[in-house]
Structure 1
Amino acid sequence: MPIDKHFRSDLDLAKIDWAKVDATSDAEIRAQVEADEDTAPIFSAHDLAALARPVEPPTAEDVRSLRLRLGLTQEAFAARYGFSVHAVRQYETARRVPSGPIRTLLRVIAHEPDAVTRALARRDETKITPSPHK
């Protein structure tokens, strides 16, 4: 089966034959992936586990020092990065430990605070529309 290359933004999801997509076998998908030199390699669970880099949760001192380094009050830090003031206070007093996406966000803020500020400022400009296909 020939590969028809598109960018996601080029696709009109209303015109896709979802029945044909759903009928595509795993073997056909594998053949398409192998035929496309631009496709990323498929990693096994073992390969992915070997590449994993656990992100240690920040300590209360880390959250407080990050906020102070940026010269922000708890209220300003919360408002700028989308936290509740209550959550910031809980993180800084170690009554709550940031987990998952919050750990990642705090790490990005620590390294690229201006990029996060710019990205969050655009949230009203970019509306995410749900896919019509489920």
Structure 2
Amino acid sequence: MMIVRRTRADVDLAKVDWAALEATTDAEIAAQIAADSDTAPIFTPTDLAQARRVAPAFSPDDVRVIRQRLGLSQEQFAARFGFSVETIRNYEQGHRRPTGPARVLLRVIASEPDAVTRALSQEDA
């Protein structure tokens, strides 16, 4: 089976059948795992209970890290969040550093990118 890698930008969450997903029972999940071992969870419930989220310290100056974590190209990032591509390139190459409102926006994008996307799409509507 061919593996297809997708980024957040490729996934249209509006097309997900959330009701069907929520209605999936543990027995159905177990049957899916039995049918295809690639769908099996990597971690046991004990592993998950002991897991901690580890995130590197964020610097709003590191636009490349934010953009790559979201799986977006420079053009996609700029279009989604209202920057010019040239500004993103300047930030990533170290020619300029985000200040003021841009720095605040990048901090919010780093922690809640979906909220920013929703807010900006409501503005356009």
TM-score scaled to structure 2, two decimals?
Answer: 0.52
Aligned residue number for residue 69 of structure 2:
69
3-state SS of 1:122 partner: helix
Counterparts of 2:119 and 2:77, CA distance in 1 = 15
The Cα RMSD (Å) is 1.6
**Deviations along 1:2-55, whole A, 9 cap, x unmatched?**
xxxxxxxxxxxxxxxxxxxxxxxxxxxxxxxxxxxxxxxxxxxxxxxxxxxxxx
Aligned residue number for residue 86 of structure 2:
86
Q: 1:58 aligns with which of 57, 60, 64?
A: 60
**Given residue 89 of structure 1, which amino acid in structure 2 is its aligned partner?**
R
Aligned residue number for residue 116 of structure 1:
116
The structure with the larger Rg is: 1
Shift of the 58–94 alpha-carbon distance from structure 1 to 2, 3 Å rule, reads: same
Q: What is the percent sequence identity of the aligned residues?
A: 63
**Given residue 73 of structure 1, which amino acid in structure 2 is its aligned partner?**
S
Unaligned runs of 5+ residues in structure 2 are: 1-57
Aligned residue number for residue 7 of structure 1:
none
Aligned residue number for residue 19 of structure 1:
none
Counterparts of 2:86 and 2:63, CA distance in 1 = 13
More helix by share: 2
Aligned length: 68
Q: Any conservation in 2 of the 1:57–1:97 contact (CA below 8 Å)? A: no
TM-score scaled to structure 1, two decimals?
Answer: 0.48
Unaligned runs of 5+ residues in structure 1 are: 1-55, 126-134
Runs of at least 4 residues off by over 2 Å? 56-59
Following superposition, the deviation at residue 57 of structure 1 comes to 6.7
**Given residue 63 of structure 2, which amino acid in structure 1 is its aligned partner?**
V
Following superposition, the deviation at residue 79 of structure 1 comes to 0.3
Aligned residue number for residue 99 of structure 1:
99
